[in-house]
Structures are given as C-alpha cells and as structure tokens.
Amino acid sequence: MLDFDQAQAQLAAAVTPPNITETCALHEAEGRVLAQTLFATLDLPPADNSAMDGYAVRHADYTSGKALPVQQRCFAGDMPQPLLPGQAIRLFTGSLIPEGADTVVMQEDTTEADDAVLINSLPQLGAHVRYRGEDVAAGAQLFAKGTVLRAAQIAVLASQGYAEVPVYPRLRVGVLTTGDELVTPGAPRGESQIYNSNGPMLAALARGLGTQVVRVEHAMDTAESLAAAFDTLLGDCDVVLTVGGVSVGEKDLVKPAIEARGGQLDLWRVRMKPGKPVALAHAEGKPIVCLPGNPVSAYVVFAMLVTPLLRTMQGRSDILPPTLHGRLVTERAFKETREEFLRVQAEFDAENLPLLRPYAQQGSGVISSLPWATGLARIPVATGAEQGSVVRYYDLSHWLA
C-alpha cells in the first residue's frame, strides 16, 4: 500500500497544467484561474481624494474661533478650484483634494452658517486624505498566473479598468457511478437497491472547485454498459472520476474496462481510512481517478487526494491548501494500521487552537457525518491519538474550494 502523502503527491504529479488560454469577461470570471500575471494599469486612488464628508483646508489657516469662507462646494466627480488662502472648500467622500489644501476636517467637527465654516476641532495635518497610489501603485503586480479569481480579486481588477482577463479553460469533469444496486433519486426503488448518492455528491464537489461537470453517467455491472459510459466520458471530458467497481470482486469491472482501452492503473491501495481502494489510470490521454464506492470514503478521497490533482489541471499555483493543527476532544482513543481521517467539528479555545470533536460514528457508510463535519483530523499510523492529542486538521472549507 502507498502512504497517504506519497499517494497525494503522485496523483498531483500525474497530470499537467493547461497550455491553452481564453479571454473571459470580468463579470463572469468568478472561480476562473488566471493564465497570465496581471499588473496595475494606474495608481489607486488615481488622485488625492477625501475619505470623509467635510471641508478641505490649509492646516496653517486655522485660527480658533474664526470661521473660514466656503469658496466652493465640490462633489465626487467634480473638478475643484485651487483653494484660496484662508478659505475652505466643501467636499464629500471621494471628492478630489483641491490644489493648495492639505487636510480634510470632518463635517461632524464643524459648524457652517452664512457660507462660512467654523472648525470646532482641528485634526492632524493631512487627516482624512487618501493619497494618490497609496493603495496600489501603477505597474505593481496585482495577481500572479495561477490565481483563482474570487470577488475580492475581481474588485481589484475592476478598479484597474480590466474589462476582461486571460484565463485557463474550465476543467471539464465527468463522473461515473457503477452498480446494479444503485437507483437514481426519485425513481422507484426495490428492496435490494439504494439511491445513488455518489453521483450528485461528486458532481457538487467538483463544481465547488470551479470545474465544469459536463457528464454524470451511471453504468450497470456489465462490460458493455461500462464501455458505453467510457466512450461518452472520455470523448467529452478532460478528467473522469469513477466510483466503485475498482476492487477485485466478480462485478468489479472498472479496472478491466480501463485496461481494455489501453489504460494502466498507476496505484491501487492507499494506507488511509476511509478510502483504501484508490486508483489512477490514463486512457486516450485522459486521467481517470477511481474512488471507493462508500459515499464517505469517496468524499474523503476526493477532498484529500483528488482536489490537488484537479487544481493542477486547472492551472492553479497553489494546489495544497494549508494544514492546521488542533487538539482532540474525545472519550475514546484512536489507533489504526492505516492513517485515519476522522470527521470532526472544530471549535476554538482561548489560544485560537482548534478543538476537534469527532463524530460519534466514524463508519464509512455514515453519510450524516458529512454535513456535520467542518474538517478532517488526521490520526497517525499506529501511534494513535486520544483526549488532548494535537493532530493535523484539514479544514474542508479550504480543501473543497
């Protein structure tokens, strides 16, 4: 069996980043991956402006108890006049700072009457002025190639005038579930059958990473059904995720179906719990990742092993999210011959260390644990863990994004 870290690295290294790019409108770029490093086109702000509603003055012109004539009322978008000595210009948030002014007095610290303003409390020199380029300087790097664009990055790019951005194409993912015992949700179910939760789950997980799920297929336990499904999936997708049928039972037909297409399984079993049966193959130039059939096992394997592979294929620069550490809060000890990934909820103590509470039932068929868990606690092989043990914590909000 492969060690977990070795399997994770081997999966990520088995694929390559994209080598083609396309242009995407900025308002449609959420979740896309930058294909080129982008730089600032202008200073931000592009000119000195007011951070407050108030009055632009020369700091040296202030005299206690003496009102300053209001020379002009200047709204955001207007061009202010040069400030005359001994006068003030009424400004609003975003208004340009007039030539000659060096300070903005908040309106709350003033009293205006008869077109003159009395300063009740003088701020420090330069107060409430946003200076040109203090946020972003023209020519500075904004985001490196491989950055995933979220709302925050899009806001910065829009402020720089980018209407469209160079990105990698969305990764096209196909999902294949197998098994005569599975029934599509909503269809009639026999006593010996269960509803297919893996297909919708994996499609949702893949979409959560910003991929395009173009096919979700189900194959019966026959060579003909599997061959037809692979024909469709390998024709339309960049990567295929299969669930179940990858072990060595009489109806575990995924492995021979891949081999019939010239594929060769690169890895077979991983020393992790849940999720031991995992395989990677390539057929017709496309990677195929074979996940275990239990929904919890498939979920954990996707989060821990498949997401780095998909991030690599998306062209992301960061393929491994950060790993935290937390302290177990449990009444039982854990000690396995495989590394165990416990479904846990994290709370934070006074030192901001996550306190990790395992779900009561850790069986690989306990689907109710998935929406409950905030992450996975990694229990080392053989050494075990118990109440108070500090272990690695994988926050699923990072690992599934």
Output the pLDDT for position 245. 73
Q: In the prediction, which pLDDT does 269 show?
A: 84
- Tell me, yes or no, whether 39 and 73 share the same domain: no
Q: Residue 384: is its pLDDT beyond 70?
A: yes
Give a yes or no: residue 10 inside a domain: yes
Whether 227 is in a domain gets the answer yes
Q: Is-contact 317 145, C-beta < 8 A?
A: yes
CATH number of the domain where residue 362 is located: 2.40.340.10
Q: Which residue has the higher pLDDT, 116 or 263?
A: 116
pLDDT interval class at 98 (50, 70, 90): very high
Statement: residue 95 has pLDDT above 90? yes
Nearest 5°: phi and psi at 343?
A: -75, 125
62 and 105, same domain (yes or no): yes
How far apart are alpha carbons 182 and 342 in whole angstroms? 27
Dihedral sign (CA 88, 93, 99, 102): positive
What confidence score (pLDDT) does residue 1 get? 83
pLDDT of residue 398: 97
Give yes or no: residues 68 and 108 share one domain.
Answer: yes
Is 64 in the same domain as 35?
no
**Pair 223, 298 in one domain:** yes
Identify the pLDDT of residue 71: 98
The model's confidence at residue 248, banded by pLDDT at 50, 70 and 90, is low
* Residue 377: predicted pLDDT: 97
Instruction: Please give the average per-residue pLDDT across 184-195, as a whole number.
Output: 92
Q: Report phi then psi at 159, rounded to 5.
A: -65, -20
Name the range with the highest mean pLDDT among 108-122, 270-284, 334-348, 375-389: 108-122
348, containing H or E segment: strand 339-348
Asked whether residue 191 falls in the same domain as residue 300, the answer is: yes
Does residue 269 sit in the same domain as residue 188?
yes
Paired residues of 377 in beta bridges? 342, 393
The lowest-confidence range among 85-94, 267-276, 315-324 is 267-276
Over residues 125-134, mean pLDDT:
98
pLDDT-derived band at 88 (thresholds 50, 70, 90) equals very high
274, 290, 314 - which closes a domain: 314
Strands (E), 120-275: 129-130, 141-143, 164-167, 172-178, 182-183, 194-195, 212-219, 239-243, 267-269, 272-273
pTM: 0.91
Domain presence at residue 40 = yes
- Are residues 40 and 8 both part of a single domain? no
- With 80 as the cut, is the pLDDT of residue 178 above it? yes
66 burial (CB, 10 Å; 0-12 / 13-18 / 19+) is exposed
319 found inside a domain:
no
Q: Could you report the per-residue pLDDT of 251-300, keeping only the tens digit for each?
A: 678 888 998 999 987 767 899 999 988 899 999 999 999 999 999 999 99
What's the CATH number where 202 sits? 3.40.980.10
pLDDT-derived band at 335, boundaries 50, 70, 90 = confident
Chain segment 15-58, per-residue pLDDT in tens: 999 999 999 999 999 999 999 999 999 999 999 999 999 999 99
Q: How confident is the prediction for the chain on average, in pLDDT?
A: 95
Per-residue pLDDT band for 317 (boundaries 50, 70, 90) equals very high
Same domain, residue pair 181 and 266: yes
Report percent pLDDT > 70 for the chain. 98
Q: From residue 276, give the alpha-carbon distance in Å to each of 198, 291, 356, 385.
A: 17, 9, 24, 20
Residue-wise pLDDT tens digits, 208-244: 999 999 999 999 999 999 999 999 999 999 999 999 8
In a domain, 251, yes or no: yes
At 274, the amino acid letter reads P
Q: What is residue 349's predicted lDDT score, i.e. its pLDDT?
A: 83
CA distance 242 to 280: 10
The proportion of the chain whose per-residue pLDDT surpasses 90, expressed as a percent, equals: 86
Q: What is the pLDDT of residue 247?
A: 62
Asked if 182 and 303 sit in the same domain, the reply is yes
Mean pLDDT of 167-195: 94
Query: Given a cut of 90, is residue 249 above it in pLDDT?
Result: no
User: Is 306 found in the same domain as 250?
Assistant: yes
- Decide if 74 is inside a domain: yes
In a domain, 267, yes or no: yes
Q: Which domain CATH number covers 37?
A: 3.90.105.10
* Boundaries of domain holding 211: 4-19+169-314
Give the pLDDT score at 305. 97
Q: Which of 368, 370, 341, 373 is nearest to 357 (CA)?
A: 373
Distance (Å, rounded) from C-alpha 41 to C-alpha 166?
Answer: 15
Same domain, 307 and 355: no
If one counts the domains in the chain, the total is 4
